[in-house]
Structure 1
């Protein structure tokens, strides 16, 4: 696998993880403030979303930056 394609995939994974982390945060925060009877599956899903939104956000930043750095290093080495 080429270095450029690895950078592209890392960048795309990072970009996809940004909205995913926002959605996870909204689901977790929404269920944290919700009242009523919810199934145990929904409560567990909301707990996991609230726990893992920040690692997904951080990994999205790391993957995006790594992909951009690999892209710029590859372009600089071409010149």
Structure 2
């Protein structure tokens, strides 16, 4: 599994999301996902939305995925 494929899957599952994925060993990855769909949701619910875009790959081809999930407003505030 490569980071670009994971990025594409997340972007497809969460239209409009801004996604950055990294990982060098092919099974452990880190992703930052900025999506309007996260508004009003707790971190666990946000992570579940991302995991749902990856389906059966989680726990299989993707052994671990560390997530940072932000709304566009939260992302903008971090850049100030």
TM category (shorter chain) comes to under 0.3
Give the structure-2-normalised TM-score. 0.23
Determine which structure has the larger helix proportion and give its number. Answer: 1
**Which of 1 and 2 has higher RCO (CA within 8 Å, sep 6+)?**
1
Give the structure-1-normalised TM-score. 0.23
**Higher CA-based Rg:** 1
